[in-house]
Amino acid sequence: MKTVLVTGGTGFVGANLVRCLLDRGDRNVRVFVRESSDRRNLDGLGRDGAVEFCTGDLRDRASVSRAVRGCQEVYHVAADYRFWANDYKELHESNVGGTRNILEECLARGVDRVVYTSTVGTIGLADQPRPCTESTAMDPHQVTSHYKRSKIAAEKVALELARRGLPVVIVNPSTPIGAWDRKPTPTGKIIVDFANGKMPAYVETGLNFAHVEDVAEGHVLAAEKGRVGNRYILGNHNLTLGQFLEIAACKIGRTAPKMVIPYPVALATGWLSTVWADLVTHKEPGVALEAVRMSRRYMYFDSTKAVRELELKQRPIEDAISDAVDWFVANGYFDRMQDEPRRRKAWLFL
């Protein structure tokens, strides 16, 4: 039975990946965690010895070396994903330096297979809303965030190590939706804020959505079938944010917001909010400027390559949103309000 290492296993995608690996039954799973990591997403999974926790930090080469030792397969999922930080060097140290540490250790220890989790943020976008592929070149003007810069640099590290002989495959998840989004992610926060009545309007943009369980399984398929040094988009359905909110509204029981915020207004709000955070509060802004800039283009993608070469599954996006809503409700993020639209209509006739 092989030993598998997962970095970022307590996070959203990582927790689903750990479950996917355990369901296959042929692996012992080692999860690399920081001392301060919230491990609730993996509660109960280590009781029978199937999950082993290894404490350390990606920036600490010695702890990385201990984690990789004895592993035949490594999934490097961990990343510092933020649109704002007090010190953006932290993103580079974790996402680039940490990636180099773990991939070089994998090469030195002769790991059989490595899957590196990148992002569709490293793939270029079209001027007009149309799906882009792994081969779409990135325009430098589209690099709008420190996070994106760090992931582009980290992907270059992975490709460099592939040329040096590391059997690494790169996966580029789009926007995963589903259970175990504890933090939650920016997209999960959209669902939570909307359900709690904190989203009366939105900035129209376009995203590619996928069920997080399909994304997790896509990692395992990449290890089994992916070509070394290749990138694979793990995605599914392209939707505008308005369309996404309409589906979420049906699952939650609220009326979807109809007001669209003009991009210049959102940009000004993001700038003011971020400047206030930088100079005064030193806490995450309510509206991050980098997030607004990212919404400028429609982030549509085509995952045909992953479907063809990896046999990636693509469940309906309605199932992904339904599973996310069910998980958020079960964990107290909000209550389902099936009667809310009907009550609103009744109020109009009073």
pLDDT of residue 199 exceeding 80: yes
Query: Taking 60 as the threshold, does the pLDDT of residue 108 lie above it?
Result: yes
Assigned domain for 57 exists:
yes
Structure confidence at residue 144 (pLDDT): 81
For residue 9, which of 155, 153, 1, 22 has the smallest C-alpha distance?
Answer: 22
Cβ(55)–Cβ(34) under 8 Å?
yes
- The answer to whether residue 171 is domain-embedded is yes
3-state DSSP helix/strand/coil % of the chain, to nearest 5:
45, 15, 40
CA angle 137, 143, 144 (to 5 degrees): 150
Number of domains in the chain: 1
Across the range 127-147, mean pLDDT stands at 88
In a domain, residue 77? The reply is: yes
What's the rounded mean pLDDT across residues 2-13? 95
**Which is it for the CA torsion 95, 100, 105, 107, positive or negative?**
positive
Q: Is residue 343 part of a domain?
A: no
**CA neighbor of 246 nearest in space, from 301, 209, 288, 287:** 209
Of the ranges 1-5, 20-24, 42-46, 75-79, the best mean pLDDT one: 75-79
Whole-model pTM above 0.85?
yes
Whichever domain contains 316, its CATH number is 3.40.50.720
- Contact predicate 260/243, CB 8 Å: no
Catalogue the active-site residues.
147
- Residue 335 belongs to some domain of the structure: no
Give, to the nearest 10 degrees, the angle between helix 61-68 and helix 98-108: 40
Residue of 288, 56, 79 lying closest to 183 (CA atoms): 79
**pLDDT mean over 197-201:** 91
Highest mean pLDDT range out of 1-5, 43-47, 247-251, 342-346? 247-251
Domain containing 24 equals: 2-183+210-236+301-327
pLDDT 10s digits, 153-195: 999 999 999 999 999 999 999 999 999 999 999 899 999 999 9
Please give the share of the chain, as a percent, with pLDDT higher than 70. Answer: 95
pLDDT of residue 338 exceeding 70, the answer is no
212: confidence class by pLDDT, cuts 50, 70, 90: very high
Task: Kindly state whether residue 76 falls inside one of the protein's structural domains.
Answer: yes
Q: Is residue 118 part of a domain?
A: yes
Give pLDDT, residue 48.
Answer: 66
Phi-psi region of 316 (alpha: psi -120 to 50; beta: other; left: phi over 0): beta
Residue 38 lies in a domain: yes
| Alpha-carbon dihedral angle through residues 195, 201, 203, 208, given to the nearest 10 degrees | 30
